[in-house]
Amino acid sequence: MTEPTRTSQAAERSEQQWQEILSPAEYAVLRKGGTERPFTGEYTDHTATGVYSCRACGAELFRSETKFDAHCGWPAFYAPLAEDRVRYIEDRTLGMVRTEVRCAACDSHLGHVFYGEGFSTPTDARFCINSICLDFDEA
């Protein structure tokens, strides 16, 4: 497996190139919209200070200060680093309406965002993000 090149050219990669760069598990989630099993990801209970980036392209997505324990089985954040770092897509799979979250730089699937769950955070949002989609740079 080759380490992903951290450039904006990542969005122009073919699916074959993504398969060569990402592990099969990373590819299944980042490029095919899969989900890792709950409570298995490396960042679920992670508490270090730093920045979480897209594992596929290296774009900075979330700061540790916005991470909170939602007891949902995946890393949860109440806001992205900036709104232009992610994009939102209506997801009607599994018989419900959800909002998918993708990396704005390379269009990789990250997870979903949910609203109105009553968490005591500064926003009304829970960005439920797969650990396998993230890399972490400690401050």
Which residues are catalytically annotated? 128
* Tokens (6 digits) for 4: 């992903």
Q: Estimate the share of the chain in helix, then strand, then coil, as percent rounded to the nearest 5.
A: 20, 30, 45
Residue closest to 112 by CA, chosen among 103, 99, 124, 125:
99
Compute the half-sphere exposure of residue 139: CA atoms within 13 Å on the CB side of its CA.
9
* Tokens (6 digits) for 59: 């774009």
In degrees, rounded to 5, the angle at the alpha carbon of residue 117 between the alpha carbons of residues 112 and 121 is: 90
* Tokens (6 digits) for 25: 């598990």
